[in-house]
Amino acid sequence: MTIDRMALKTLVEKGSDHDLLREMIAFVASRMMDVEVENLIGAGHGERSADRATHRNGYRTRDWHTGAGTVPVAIPKLRKGSYFPSFLEPRRSADKALIAVIQEAYVHGVSTRSVDDLVRTMGMTGISKSQVSRLCEDIDERVGAFLGRPIEGQWPYLWIDATYVKVREGGRIVSVAVIIAVGANTDGRREVLGMAVGPSEAEPFWTKFLRSLTGRGLRGVKHLVSDSHEGLKAAAKKVLATSWQRCRVHFMRNAMQHVSAKQRPMVAAAIRTAFVQATKEEAHKEFRAVADRLREKFPRLSAMMDAAEYDVLAYMALPKDHWAQIHSTNPIERLNREVKRRTNVVGIFPNEDAIVRLVGAVLLEQNDEWAVSRRYMSLETLAGLGDTAIVSAKAIPAT
């Protein structure tokens, strides 16, 4: 222990050394491996013991890619059996997918300099091109099984949102939508139900996507939450017998486009007074009153509010305990941010398969986290979600 402290002190005293942090990481990693190997062997280095199970047999070097850069570590080898450090777990699926996308970029003509910049951004020194096919096969199999799995049970709530990425297509760089569907089932659990890549406004694309979900078993949808995509609204009428909620957050963004920057805080506060009402009747009354007050000064905004009233307030026809979760697509905003964080590293994808590979891996990891987290909605409140929810969520007659 004294020797360890002296070694660590020597590293700390090298404070001005640019590689100090990496050397300290390597030092700690070495000590961790020594402890694990001693427990595995049953004896310390050079120690005689009747409990000894095997002996050391040299080292093998491996690069450990960390946030501080690449750290070479010497992994002890054993004469019998094998040892792999617990802290050097295999890469997470999304990280492996990101690596595969970057390496695949080499094959599709992206400049070596651009790819090297991406690799350095990830804190790595590069990965052999020969690993691409093995990585892709492993990831594609897992992602494909996840995105194509059967959807079982009843799913009263469905959120759909899109984020945009760039991809090479026919010699051009185009922007495509990555559509993500998240549902909440009658057990109060959230799951990623599916994803697709395509033009977000095209009705045939939305229809195909929704039918793929119902084909895998999606049932019992009472309330769909999304932005005001005309193609999605038309497709939902064809495929799903459900009420539709226009995302309140997206609506506010669209509304503020009709107001000058200086007046936006005042107008936004006025509109939000409708959202804090205790009942749907009071909310509709206040929403119309605000639209009338703004009509003279902001006629286009008032016209937009008139058209959107029942879609924006549709969530108030459902249990009040669920209002915070179903008034917008915010429940999947964090997921979209994580998708965007990963895709921004790539910048331009070589093809759509690469998008599915990376985004699908991110969704798989998030779904695993949701599976072990607390319920998103309580069973008690879901029990009160009756068959009349679809009918009661329809437009309320004007009074």
Tens-digit pLDDT profile for residues 152-201:
999 999 999 989 999 988 889 999 999 999 999 999 999 999 999 988 77
**Arithmetic mean of pLDDT, 13-27:** 58
Least confident of 118-122, 188-192, 305-309: 118-122
Q: What is the tens place of the pLDDT at every residue in 47-87?
A: 777 778 888 888 888 877 665 567 788 888 888 877 878 66
Flag whether pLDDT at 362 surpasses 60. Answer: yes
The torsion angles phi and psi of 192, rounded to 5 degrees, stand at -80, 120
Flag whether pLDDT at 17 surpasses 50. Answer: no
Least confident of 110-124, 167-181, 262-276: 110-124
What is the percentage of the chain residues whose pLDDT exceeds 90?
A: 39
349, 167 contact by CB (below 8 A): yes
Q: How far from 363 is each of 248, 281, 384, CA to CA, in Å?
A: 24, 38, 30
pLDDT level of residue 1 (50, 70, 90 thresholds): very low
> What is the DSSP track for 218-230?
-----EEEE---H
Amino acid identity for residue 227 in this structure: D
| DSSP element (H, E) containing 354 | helix 352-372
Q: Can you give the pTM of this predicted structure?
A: 0.69
Flag whether pLDDT at 151 surpasses 90. Answer: yes
| Domain residue limits, the chain | 2-78, 93-144, 153-392
The pLDDT, as a whole number, for residue 47 is: 78
Least confident of 4-13, 15-24, 245-254, 300-309: 4-13
Neighbouring residues of 334: CB distance < 8 A, sequence distance ≥ 6: none
Q: Which residue has the tokens 């920057």?
A: 261
pLDDT level of residue 141 (50, 70, 90 thresholds): confident
Task: Quote the distance between the C-alpha of residue 317 and its chain's center.
Answer: 29
Q: Which two tokens stand for residue 277?
A: 């009402």
pLDDT level of residue 396 (50, 70, 90 thresholds): very low
pLDDT level of residue 15 (50, 70, 90 thresholds): very low
